[in-house]
Amino acid sequence: MDNPLDGPGLEALHARRSVKWRLYGPDVLPLWVAEMDVVPAEPVQRAVVDAVRRGDTGYPWAPDYTEALASFAGDRWGWRPDPATMSLVPDVMLGVVEVLRLFTSPGDAVVVNSPVYPPFFQFVHSLGRRVVEAPLGADGRLDPVTVEDACASATREGARAAYLLCNPQNPTGAVHTPAELTAVLEIAAAFGVRVVADEIHAPLAHPGVRFTPVASLPAGARAVSLMSASKAFNLAGLKAAVAVPGPEAVDDLARVPEEVSHGASHLGVIAHRAAYLEGGPWLDALLEGLEANRLLLGDLLAEQLPLVRYREPQGTFLAWLDFSAYDLGPDPAATLLGRAKVALHPGPGFGHGGTGHARLNFGTSPAILREAVGRIAAAVGS
Ligand SMILES: Cc1ncc(COP(=O)(O)O)c(C=O)c1O
């Protein structure tokens, strides 16, 4: 199978109507939002087009999604969660919100491991909860010490609290190991803090790296995971996701109101099902392409931007770049947008550890990646 990242050229990409390609003018190369420059797998295209053609544009049927996810999880991760216990949700972040609503009350705290996906802060705040940061360690990995401190602070005076884990971690691409996960899950349990795991990037663990679903671990039995085919198969515009409870969280998840499932798109469910059941070869080809891009990016940075500090991600199509040595200010993405005409995702919104950083999406063609790094290097004069 061809590398999906070699797909559309710049002209076809500029014709897209998505925010990635609309927000900035045609002179800007957009490598910010987590949307890849690929065309979906052929079985996904076929499933959606066939559905539209037969007028199958009504309301979603949840088992189509939950059963396909169980089958994919079995094949990829050797884990078979029970589809009957899962809940269809509109998308991952709205699923996170519903589970946080179960586990916490207004004013309660939600622990997050920063730097982390900025909507973790925004959605928690708009739900009326407060964020307590447990920064990753200097090695970019989960740090049991900060998690313990954060759980202690979050539950002071007997308040309920939740812990929103990002597995794999956006933006660093760390794929947490069973030992790392078990350590922080046990700490959370000791404080009575319930765990919600955002596992949207799960299928994007790079070759040789093993993804571990939180709810598959004994220490994750009371956790709820949110999963979706949207990142790995580039289906963000076809909204649907699933909440998966650990064996001891089944009754909790059953309390999510049934109407929450109404927000998922029927065409989304059809697309995600096709991706999970028939998109394996496309995903494997994508993962090879991402691996090649990851190596290319490492080489380009070493040659052209040697002062950028960067730890190779173990998963995702995201690279977390530390521009501090280039003196581009606290938000290098803002500076580079003007000077290099490259849009990266601003680091400061990722919380502690975000200053001086920017996130680059390498889910694009090698040609665009080369051009982007070349423009940045020219702009910083290195
Ligand atoms: C960690 C993480 N969670 C959630 C999302 C958004 O998912 P959804 O559109 O299903 O809410 C993203 C998108 O980039 C993400 O990186």
Residue 17: per-residue pLDDT = 96
| CA 200 / ligand 1 centre spacing (Å) | 6
pLDDT tens digit string along 192-205? Answer: 999 999 999 999 99
Do 178 and 206 contact (CB within 8 A), yes or no? Answer: no
pLDDT beneath 50, residues of the chain: none
Cα–Cα distance between 32 and 321 in angstroms, integer? Answer: 12
Is any atom of ligand 1 closer than 6 Å to the C-beta of 193?
no
Is any atom of ligand 1 closer than 6 Å to the C-beta of 34?
yes
Residue 157: per-residue pLDDT = 86
Residue 94 CA: nearest ligand 1 atom is 11
Residue 271: per-residue pLDDT = 98
Q: Which of 170, 234, 272 to mutate to test the pocket of ligand 1 (most atoms within 8 A of CB)?
A: 170
Residue 382: per-residue pLDDT = 64
Is any atom of ligand 1 closer than 6 Å to the C-beta of 337?
no
Is any atom of ligand 1 closer than 6 Å to the C-beta of 202?
no
Is any atom of ligand 1 closer than 6 Å to the C-beta of 321?
no
Distances, alpha carbon 167 to alpha carbons 93, 277, 327, in Å: 14, 22, 31
Q: Which of 31, 35, 92 to mutate to test the pocket of ligand 1 (most atoms within 8 A of CB)?
A: 92
Residue 381: per-residue pLDDT = 84
Write down the pTM of the prediction: 0.97
Is any atom of ligand 1 closer than 6 Å to the C-beta of 91?
yes
Partner residues linked to 88 by β-bridges: 242
Distances, alpha carbon 42 to alpha carbons 4, 47, 92, 233, in Å: 11, 9, 24, 11
Residue 249: per-residue pLDDT = 98
Residue 33 CA: nearest ligand 1 atom is 14
| CA 91 / ligand 1 centre spacing (Å) | 8
Is any atom of ligand 1 closer than 6 Å to the C-beta of 117?
yes
Is any atom of ligand 1 closer than 6 Å to the C-beta of 170?
yes
| CA 176 / ligand 1 centre spacing (Å) | 18
| CA 93 / ligand 1 centre spacing (Å) | 6
